[in-house]
Amino acid sequence: MTIENTRQAASRIASEVRRRKSAQELAQNTADAIRQQVGNISTEAAGSLGSALDPSQGYSLDPNVRPPELPEPGSAPGGSSQRQVGNMFAGNPMGNVMVEQAVAASRQPLDDDHDQLVGQGIGGAAPPSQPTGPVAPAIKPAPPKQQHPVLTQLREDLGLESNRPIDVKVGGHDWTLMPLTPGDASTAARLAEQMSVGPLEAHLIQQTAIIAHTVVAIDHVPTYQVFDVEPPPGSHITNPLRPPRAVRALAAGKLFDFIQDEGKTQLSEKLYDAYMDKADSAGAVRSYLDDPLNRKVTFRCSHEQCSHTLVIAPRYQPGTRDVVLPFCQWHAEPMQVVEEEVVGPLE
């Protein structure tokens, strides 16, 4: 055994010597080749290349070389001669029992611990993270912003909320009317313009559109509830007669379709007459132009079916006495001068 070990050791030493010698020759040949390739450079630059790499210092130019201290692939640490093959508990009764228990346990199904893990925050919603630094103070909602007194007074004097709803009896039912806002009036005019092909049809559609926007309740039930209009999620309606604008628009559209397609012939006309008699005057605003001492002119729309009139102080073209004609808010055409009132000491 000793002779065999000595022979193997000598063989390994000889192989190592041959490997190192071969590596040294390879390094020397590589260095010589490099010097030949850079022979055209100056003497000082060639001298700075230095000597060839010394394989005895751990350098090697062989791409497949491995450090001797690393084990070969597939071998156990310490060398293949120290690798243990087979069961480490072989021949050990206690080891045999442990192996049998491990094999039996691997064949049994695991317990269903899903509910327990989810309850602990594993596999479900992440548990709330614990603060690691100083706890930030709780954020409290800011107090409601105070409304400017001027705006409050404007809403009380000139706002729509200052007008009381007006109930009229038409067709055996109570219709609650409110004056139109400028936005509702413009919407009614745009609807009449888009749906009509002539002035007479535009006038009829405009009347129906005005009624659809001015009726806020039928038999004391809000219009949006009568036609099953759902408010947007999260919206809070404080005044059922003045829901959000989107809700009012949908309710007005459904009421318009009902009057146009399902109502009697005179329903729109009677409701429009009631609006002009009771609710339209509630939207009037007093002005200095109402003073009888001011010069006022009556203007009327040129369409036969339109009864829109204006009694206002005239405006003139700069440098002339030409009156600037106002436009009809329903037909967008210049109005005609009907009557001129001259009152005051200037005449």
Angle, nearest 10°, between helix axes 182-195 and 245-261? 40
What are the pLDDT digits (tens) for 274-307?
988 888 877 777 776 666 656 778 889 888 888 8
pLDDT greater than 70 at residue 344: no
Inter-residue long-range contacts of 301-306, CB under 8 Å, 24+ positions, other chains counted = 301/328, 301/330, 301/331, 301/333, 301/335, 301/336, 302/328, 302/333, 302/334, 302/335, 302/336, 303/199, 303/203, 303/328, 303/331, 303/333, 304/199, 305/199, 305/200, 305/203, 306/199, 306/203, 306/330, 306/331
pLDDT greater than 70 at residue 215: yes
pLDDT greater than 50 at residue 43: yes
Q: What is the pLDDT of the chain when averaged over all its residues?
A: 75
Structure tokens at 306: 């339109």
Residue with tokens 């009907």: 338
Distance, C-alpha 112 to centroid of its chain: 41
Q: What pLDDT is stored for residue 346 in this prediction?
A: 42
Residue with more model confidence, 61 or 33: 33
Structure tokens at 98: 């442990």
- DSSP string for 107-154: HSPPP--HHHHHHTTSSSSPPPPPP-SPPPPPP-PPPPPPPPHHHHHH
Q: Poorest-confidence range of 141-150, 289-298, 324-333?
A: 289-298
Q: What pLDDT is stored for residue 89 in this prediction?
A: 47
Residues with Cβ within 8 Å of 162's Cβ and at least 6 positions away in sequence, in order, are 155, 156
For the chain, give the percent of residues with pLDDT over 90: 7
Q: Where are the domains positioned within the chain?
A: 2-65, 161-283, 286-347
Distance, C-alpha 314 to centroid of its chain: 51
